[in-house]
Amino acid sequence: MAQKRLYPKCAGEIDGLAEHLKEKYPDSEWETQFLKFDDEKGKGAVFQVRPKPSAWQTAKNWVGLGMAATASMKAVGEALEVEVGGGKWLDKAAIIGAVPLMFAPLVVAAGVGAWLQNRLLAQVLAEIEAYFRGEATALKCAECGADYAAGAKFCSECGKAVSQQAQA
């Protein structure tokens, strides 16, 4: 269920897009990976995100509630081609196909897992779209948690200098 988009004149935006995605999926909740490549086919990168491993996450994976997303970015001339897809579909299909009669609740869990997987993919794609529209969601103040726009010098809620927060 991969979705592909082409962004004209954005081939140089790979690093900026990767940074934007890393900010949206904080290390406290998500495991992310960003890999760049430059080969005979061109320049590009891959961004991957999945929930941080834990005992609870392992249990969720076993019943088909696991999720992950991959955004592949490739320069095509002056354009940037982005394809968003995800893993974690095979576990859902296996559960739905193998245990429908004996463990009906697992079929429901696999269906919910498929919905969660699709929601994560849609969320990553929405963040990519927002980045290229210049409508990236607001950043959070480290002091009070209020949203502030990129480029702001002070938090509009608590007044703390946000440039100092970024350095801390």
The token pair at 21 is 């995605």
pLDDT along the chain (168 residues), means of 10: 85 88 84 86 85 76 73 90 72 49 60 75 84 68 73 73 52
Predicted local confidence at residue 81, as pLDDT: 92
**CB-facing half-sphere around the CA of 11: CA atoms within 13 A:** 10
User: Would you state the pLDDT for residue 18?
Assistant: 86
Please report how the helices 104-133 and 90-98 are oriented relative to each other, as an axis angle in degrees rounded to 10.
Answer: 160
Amino acid at 50: R
Tell me which fold the domain 3-137 belongs to: TATA-Binding Protein (3.30.310)
Predicted pLDDT at 69: 85
Query: pTM to 2 decimals?
Result: 0.61
Q: Answer for the pair 90, 138: CB distance below 8 angstroms, yes or no.
A: no
Q: Could you tell me the CA-to-CA distances from 60 to 55, 90, 98, 100, 115 in Å, in that order? A: 9, 14, 17, 18, 14
pLDDT at 150: 61
